Amino acid sequence: MLALALGGFGIGTTEFVAMGLLPEMAGGLDISEPTAGHVISAYALGVVVGAPLIAALTARVPRRTLLIALMVAFTLGNAASVLAPDYPTLMAARFVAGLPHGAYFGVAALVAAHLAEPGRRAKAVANVMIGLSIANVVGVPVATWLGQHLGWRSAFALVTVIGVAVVASLIAWIPRLDAMPTTNPITELGALTRVQVWMTLIMGMVGFGGMFAVYSYISTTLTDVTGLAKSLIPIALMLYGLGMVVGNVVGGHLADRALTKGLAVSMTALALILAVFVIAVRTPVTALVFVFLIGVAGSAMVPALQTRLMDVAADAQTLAAALNHAALNVANAFGAWIGGVVIAAGYGYTAPAAVGSMLAVAGLVVLGFAVLLERRRASTQVTG
């Protein structure tokens, strides 16, 4: 579990650090900040493409071997980000670094669930995902601080070092997992024919997009709107990370007790928190409190989404589990894009929170339709 969580720590650090360094990246590459935001979208697109492709094509590969190979690819992609000489090359490097992301988390979640006691699957998944949360407490603030003082490339250099450490940990600590079954590409692709799989993915894309619409531009929002000193941005990111840790634990607990209700509670909380953030962001204390709360509500959704996908995917769990992270990174790309659109349109840096709240509400609507379809299907089976 520690080795798997350490992989999540490395992935979480590289995924979120760019959001805190957009001003530095924009200045260093001589582009605008909204254009620099496309670097975030490039990584997310890599996740979206890589998750289903890798999960399907490697269905027969032993899980331990696959985890190690994915982390090697991740490390090489981040090394390429350090060496990228210009904006187009950096975009390509971030795309490559994102390719293993979804498949790694998908396989790691399945390994955790496979080893978990009955009734504790969501908590086991949360234990793996806590590496991603801790990255926002330690990895992202440290990498952001390095990027601000030594140049943005140093942040990705740190991630490369972490990647090397993760590869060594996986080799040393992950057992053979011979009892864990593999499948085949055709079986895994069967997940794409299940309506409930798609409904769950759409929930993640829409509902989680609201959080990323705000978080993608959090640095400038806190400095320009809140009036927070630039030197305090790493502390704000750390508070967000602490919120993710808390939300991850709470979300795993809620999902094991009542999966659908837990997901509904998390999305409702996110919608309300983002709506209030539009006002709360204008005062330093309330802004920091709500940055923490956004982390809690957003992260609480993840264990429930992951567990629900494994439930509705039947025998295509590897692809379904990987697709969860593809969906969350569609949310990442979409959130960063729509946040940039409303900012560029002149609505200011509080507008992404308003749009984000509406996206969270849309996610709740999708959940309602999914539950309705499940009940109708169950009723039809009983009648039949």
For 128-186, write each residue's pLDDT tens digit.
778 887 887 888 888 988 998 888 999 999 999 999 999 999 998 887 777 666 677 77
Complete DSSP assignment for 185-250 = HHHHHGGGG-HHHHHHHHHHHHHHHHHHHHHTTHHHIIIIII---GGGHHHHHHHHHHHHHHHHHH
Residues 6+ apart with CB under 8 A from 111: 4, 63, 67, 128, 177, 180
Tokens 């697709």 sit on residue:
323
For 84, the token pair is 């990228």
Complete DSSP assignment for 241-265 = HHHHHHHHHHHHHHHHH-HHHHHHH
- Over residues 123-127, mean pLDDT: 76
> In degrees to the nearest 10, what's the CA dihedral of 157, 162, 164, 167?
-150
User: Which pLDDT band, with edges at 50, 70 and 90, does 306 fall under?
Assistant: confident
Task: Report pLDDT for 181.
Answer: 65
Task: Report pLDDT for 108.
Answer: 87
Higher pLDDT residue, 24 or 120? 24
**Smallest Cα–Cα separation from 204: which of 266, 139, 160?**
266
Strand spans (E) along the chain: none
How far is CA 317 from its chain centroid? Answer: 19
For 245-299, write each residue's pLDDT tens digit.
899 888 888 888 888 898 999 999 999 999 999 999 999 999 999 999 999 998 8
For 75-89, write each residue's pLDDT tens digit.
999 999 999 888 999
For 212, the token pair is 């990323």
How far is CA 29 from its chain centroid? Answer: 26
Amino acid of residue 58: T
Task: Report pLDDT for 382.
Answer: 60
- Spatial separation of the C-alpha atoms in residues 154 and 324, rounded to whole Å: 30
Give the percent of the chain with pLDDT over 70.
96
Residues 6+ apart with CB under 8 A from 229: 223
Q: Say if residue 243's pLDDT is above 70.
A: yes
Task: Report pLDDT for 154.
Answer: 93
- Give pTM, 2 decimals: 0.76
- Over residues 4-16, mean pLDDT: 88
How would you class 372 by CB atoms within 10 Å of its CB: exposed for 0-12, middle for 13-18, buried for 19 or more?
exposed
Higher pLDDT residue, 277 or 124? 277
Task: Report pLDDT for 276.
Answer: 96
To the nearest whole number, what is the mean pLDDT of the chain?
A: 86
Give, in order, the Cα–Cα distances in Å from 150 to each of 144, 146, 157: 10, 5, 11
Q: Say if residue 384's pLDDT is above 60.
A: no
CA-based angle 364:124:252, to the nearest 5? 30
Q: Say if residue 193's pLDDT is above 60.
A: yes
Task: Report pLDDT for 2.
Answer: 82
For 316-370, write each residue's pLDDT tens digit.
777 777 787 778 777 877 888 888 889 988 888 999 999 999 999 999 999 999 9
Q: Which sign, positive or negative, has the C-alpha torsion 304, 305, 308, 314?
A: negative
Task: Report pLDDT for 105.
Answer: 84
Which span out of 176-180, 216-220, 230-234, 360-364 was modeled with the highest average pLDDT? 360-364
**Smallest Cα–Cα separation from 129: which of 305, 366, 313?**
305
> By three-state DSSP, how is residue 316 classified?
coil
